[in-house]
Amino acid sequence: MSSQQLVLKQRALLLDAVCGGGSAEPLDCVLDLLLAWEVLIWEDYLSIRVTEKPVSSNARHLLDVVYEKGEDASGLLLAAFKQVLPEEQKSELCFGKEYAVLEKNRPATATSALLTDRPVLVKKLRDNIDEAFDVLMTTGCFTIKDCDGVHLPAYTPSQQVRRLLDQVRYKGETAARTLLKYLDQTEPENKEHQILEETISFTASPDTLLFQRKLRSSVAAQSHFLSTYGGTGRFSLDDIYTDGLLEVMNGSGETTTLELEDVVGPVGILNKDADTVLVSGEAGSGKSTLLQRLHLLWAREALFTDIYLLFPFSCRKLNAEHRALSLKELLFLHCCWPDRNQDEVFQFILDHPHLVLFTFDGLDEFKQGFTDEEHHCCPTQPVPIPTLLFNLLQGTLMKGVMKVVASRPQAVGPSLKHYLRKEVHLKGFSPGGIVCFVKKQYSDPGMAGRVIESLQGNTALLSLCHIPVFCWIVTKCHQELLGGEDGIPQTVADVYLLVSQHFFQRKSSQPQGALRKGWLEQHLDTVLKLGQLAMEGLEASCYVFSGHELQRHGLTEHDISMGFLIYCNDMSVTDSKRYEFLHITLQCFFAALYVILNRRNNRSAIPKLFQLQHRQPSSLSPKCLGHCVDRSVEEDESKMVEKPNLQITAQFVSGLLSLQHRNLLLDCCPAALREHNVKQVVRSLSKAMQRHFKFIPRPVEGEKKSMHAMPSFVWLIKCIYEMQDSSIAQNTMAKLDVEHLKLTYCNIGPVECTALAYVLKHLRNPVGLQLDNNCVGDVGVEQLLPCLHNCHSLYLRNNNITDEGIRKLVEKGVHCERFQKLALFNNKLTDACTQHFAWLMKSKQNFLSLRLGNNNITSQGAEQLAEGLSCNRSLQFLGLWGNHTGDRGATALANALKNNTELIWLSLVDNGVGSAGASALAELISQSKTLEELWLNKNVISRDGVECLIKALKMNSRVKEVWLKGNNLSPEEEEELKKEESRLTF
């Protein structure tokens, strides 16, 4: 078959392979190769790679363009795919005959070398991008604006590199030559690197090499299957893995999106001397799965190829290690045993720390909280596991070995933060990720389509799906979830009840559907036994159970076969089978069922769950969980009992006690007990909230009364939501009296937005809701709409919101009388959102402040916005910092704002505004009776423009300041102009 036919026939497969992971990187790599091989010319590239369009549409366009170019181009396209795709994705594709890429003469110009060497340059520049900027800036090839345009946090490091290359090409031959010269100079370093690599293969003895092979195959075997699917069939990670949203924040609070390989890369480093990277994320956000993927790719030599040995650890398993061990024993006993010459292998590790990587999954599950009090640096001396672990993380032991630690955020205190090289946040699936994940779950695309469609019709459920574990559950039980007779699930408890029912039903000999009524009662015995094991485990931070412990709890083979418990995937050598819950959240769910259904429970069990302080050892003291309790730390442990899982348990308790599940529970526990439990939960929630409100500081004079919520506030709100009783929400919120509610950096995603809106809609007085630096996204925005009428201001800086989110927000916002301020700095907005803002401006003549900085609004968008602004009389603050309005946009805005009688503050910082724009703004100054500050830093205004501004200022005494730092003026001109008008700031 010809290459053209192959491209046509395999179109769906090719598209899936290149876009299936949800990341643009594979497509970009293919494009790099095609540019280098001259299959595509620059104009083709520009028409194909349109950032505003989804990756899939870019990929389709690529296939069309190449197909049109004929047989050779199609052959080279297939060759590029073959080079870029990972092995496992290639198996389904046929690449046809080998197409040799012709050796070309060296390009005549530096700009053309940027294209022909593009694949290599992208690789080289990834680790040197900051230095490259420095060189381009100091040689005058780049301005700050050029750097800012490339260095946008929304781009991944590879995307930044490609933008850098594109920008250098636009700048011309000098810039291209400068960049290539710089890269040549860094070459010796690279050569050193190569030499180093050569030395390694040379110095690594045959036994070390053998050990590396054994470790690789052991890690590959351990990470090949997704363990949590154990009870429901084994899924290969390759088939199921979907990229999650990974972000890193720099010192000044800006976030950058990362790819898997960047986890240990240079982007986002806060402390160069430290070598522990933290991957933090909420329960079920995919931390373990991400580490598993990382392990698998390393084992296949597809990632971290400069890492010679990778040792994966699980804190869950380390909990069960009571012996004092040396580092050597820890590595070899817990990961992989060298068959020969272990001393030599260990010496290799000691001598080459930079070639070794340790990963620690689930630090939050480690029984002891991190401390840096005890120092230990000897790799051969045995010490207790906590000492070993904490010294590794601090770098006292094995300095230079890179460590990647995954943990829930709550478990990382300030003392550990001190030792972090960087903190990477895993934020679950993006909307595209959800779609991608669902598609991977079903072999029948029709079914996948139906599930996606139903999800999109139920935003409460869709918002849950941003957390991968819920997404997985939803796809497992789609029949019950989406076609349920009892209504569509709303809460996390609803979803987990359905998954339990699904599991029991799966194993039942009865016909499908027969269990619907009374299924819990029928399986109460199993539920209580599992529940007791789960609760006692949580109390003791124990997540792995021996067969013996299961027996002591009366759990039989039949109970185990239900699938909630799975064999533990243990890398260490143990003699007996061990079990863990399918996922930790399921352990919490069974613990919650136990708290509610066990009639013999201590009456203080529920209030204790809701206590926020250190917990005392409970009446459910886990005396029988022998192996989990290390006697030497038993006393300390009462303080260390891990809170997040108990909080999740409390959340499930609230959900299970909701009115909707009353009948289900009544089958299993007396009505009086249920009522008692409900009262206890309501009382506990109300008390905990009161405590929270008590700490709201009195407002400083002249400032608004404001509350900065602690993470536990979000948890309490989620518990209230789970109860689905609006009177509880109403009563609690009646006591909250603040004007500003600050929830920044609180990991607020769509699920939290649903709960927030549920309670905030009951506020007596409107608040300013500040949700900056979370992961709200478009779905979260939609979830917030029910409380928009109670928000006078909404701050959503840095939240991954797109034009679609704005469409929905404005649709509702225009009808909310009290809604007056909106801040959307650093989101993903383009010109397509400005039509909505224009409508908002026209419709709301009491709107006060609109801040849209650091988005992607060009002159076209600014003109559209201006059209709305020309009908608005109320706006006081307009911020467009860091967009691309240019002169045209600035002029349109200035003209539109002339009619405004309230405008106080306007920012067009860093918008490519030149003197023409400045002269239009000067006219605005001369007419405005209200404007006080005009911000025009980092533009391209020259002397003419400033003179217009000065002239206008002479007629306006109200304006206090015009900021003009970083424009096209020499220091002498700045000094001279400043003398003419003191309100100008350069």
Ligand X SMILES: Nc1ncnc2c1ncn2[C@@H]1O[C@H](COP(=O)(O)OP(=O)(O)OP(=O)(O)O)[C@@H](O)[C@H]1O
With contacts defined by CB under 6 A, name the span among 186-194, 201-209, 280-288, 707-715 that binds ligand X.
280-288
- Quick check: 750 binds ligand X (CB under 6 A)? no
Q: How many C-beta atoms lie closer than 10 Å to residue 334's C-beta?
A: 21
Q: Based on CB atoms, which residue is closest to ligand X, 283 or 393?
A: 283
Q: Which residue is nearest to ligand X (CB)?
A: 286
347: Cβ contacts below 8 Å, ≥ 6 apart: none
CB of 579 to ligand X, least distance (A): 16
Residues 436-455 that bind ligand X (CB under 6 A): 437
Q: Based on CB atoms, which residue is closest to ligand X, 364 or 863?
A: 364
Rounded-to-integer distance, Cα 681 and Cα 723, Å: 9
Q: According to CB under 6 A, which one of 228, 410, 649, 907 is a site residue for ligand X? A: 228
Rounded-to-integer distance, Cα 656 and Cα 593, Å: 8
- Quick check: 289 binds ligand X (CB under 6 A)? yes
- Quick check: 749 binds ligand X (CB under 6 A)? no
**DSSP calls for 548-605:** HHHHHTT--HHHHTTSSEEE----S--SS-EEEESSHHHHHHHHHHHHHH-TTS-TTH
Q: Based on CB atoms, which residue is closest to ligand X, 170 or 567?
A: 567
Q: Based on CB atoms, which residue is closest to ligand X, 288 or 490?
A: 288
E strands in 786-932: 791-795, 821-823, 849-851, 877-879, 905-907
Q: According to CB under 6 A, which one of 26, 75, 119, 281 is a site residue for ligand X? A: 281
CB of 243 to ligand X, least distance (A): 7
Q: According to CB under 6 A, which one of 118, 162, 171, 287 is a site residue for ligand X? A: 287
CB of 593 to ligand X, least distance (A): 18
CB of 29 to ligand X, least distance (A): 21
Q: Based on CB atoms, which residue is closest to ligand X, 423 or 887?
A: 423
Q: Based on CB atoms, which residue is closest to ligand X, 295 or 762?
A: 295
Do 592 and 653 touch, CB atoms closer than 8 A? yes
CB of 440 to ligand X, least distance (A): 8
Q: Based on CB atoms, which residue is closest to ligand X, 225 or 332?
A: 225
Helices (H), 871-980: 886-897, 915-927, 943-954, 971-980
Instruction: Look up residue 850 and give its amino acid.
Output: L
CB of 583 to ligand X, least distance (A): 5
Q: Based on CB atoms, which residue is closest to ligand X, 476 or 553?
A: 476
Q: How many C-beta atoms lie closer than 10 Å to residue 933's C-beta?
A: 15
Q: What is the contact mask toward ligand X in residues 407 to 436, using x (rule: CB under 6 A)?
A: -x----------------------------
With contacts defined by CB under 6 A, name the span among 282-290, 369-377, 843-851, 857-865 that binds ligand X.
282-290
CB of 287 to ligand X, least distance (A): 4
Give the count of residues interacting with ligand X (CB under 6 A).
23
Q: Which two tokens stand for residue 117?
A: 């060497």
Q: Based on CB atoms, which residue is closest to ligand X, 408 or 523?
A: 408
**DSSP calls for 322-368:** -S-B-HHHHHHHHT---SS-HHHHHHHHHH-GGGEEEEEE-GGGSSS
Q: What is the contact mask toward ligand X in residues 235 to 264, using x (rule: CB under 6 A)?
A: -----xxx-x--------------------
Angle, CA 74 vertex, CA 73 and CA 77 arms, to 5°: 90
Q: How far is CA 157 from CA 127, 262, 423, in A?
A: 9, 8, 16
b/e string for 183-205 if b means 16 or more Cβ within 10 A?
beebeeeeeeeeeeeeeeeeebe
Residues 583-622 that bind ligand X (CB under 6 A): 583-585
Question: What is the SS3 assignment for 485-519?
Answer: CCCCCCCHHHHHHHHHHHHHHHHCCCCCCCCCCCH
Q: Are strands 984-985 and 791-795 parallel, antiparallel or unpaired?
A: unpaired
Do 285 and 750 touch, CB atoms closer than 8 A? no
Q: Based on CB atoms, which residue is closest to ligand X, 470 or 721?
A: 470
Q: According to CB under 6 A, which one of 284, 386, 853, 917 is a site residue for ligand X? A: 284
Q: According to CB under 6 A, which one of 288, 391, 649, 754 is a site residue for ligand X? A: 288
Q: According to CB under 6 A, which one of 157, 362, 813, 945 is a site residue for ligand X? A: 362
Q: Are strands 821-823 and 791-795 parallel, antiparallel or unpaired?
A: parallel
With contacts defined by CB under 6 A, name the span among 332-340, 577-585, 667-675, 939-947 that binds ligand X.
577-585
506: left (phi > 0), else alpha (psi -120 to 50), else beta?
A: alpha
Q: Based on CB atoms, which residue is closest to ligand X, 477 or 809?
A: 477
Q: How many C-beta atoms lie closer than 10 Å to residue 972's C-beta?
A: 8
Q: Based on CB atoms, which residue is closest to ligand X, 36 or 279?
A: 279
Rounded-to-integer distance, Cα 155 and Cα 161, Å: 9
Rounded-to-integer distance, Cα 457 and Cα 459, Å: 6
Q: What is the contact mask toward ligand X in residues 460 to 499, using x (rule: CB under 6 A)?
A: --------xx--x---------------------------
Q: How many helices (H) and strands (E) does the chain have?
A: 48, 23
CB of 581 to ligand X, least distance (A): 10
Q: What is the contact mask toward ligand X in residues 761 to 780, using x (rule: CB under 6 A)?
A: --------------------
Helix (H, G, I), strand (E, B) or coil at 239: helix
Q: Based on CB atoms, which residue is closest to ligand X, 122 or 426?
A: 426
Q: Based on CB atoms, which residue is closest to ligand X, 80 or 426?
A: 426
Binding site for ligand X (CB under 6 A): 226, 228, 240-242, 244, 281, 283-289, 362, 408, 437, 468-469, 472, 583-585
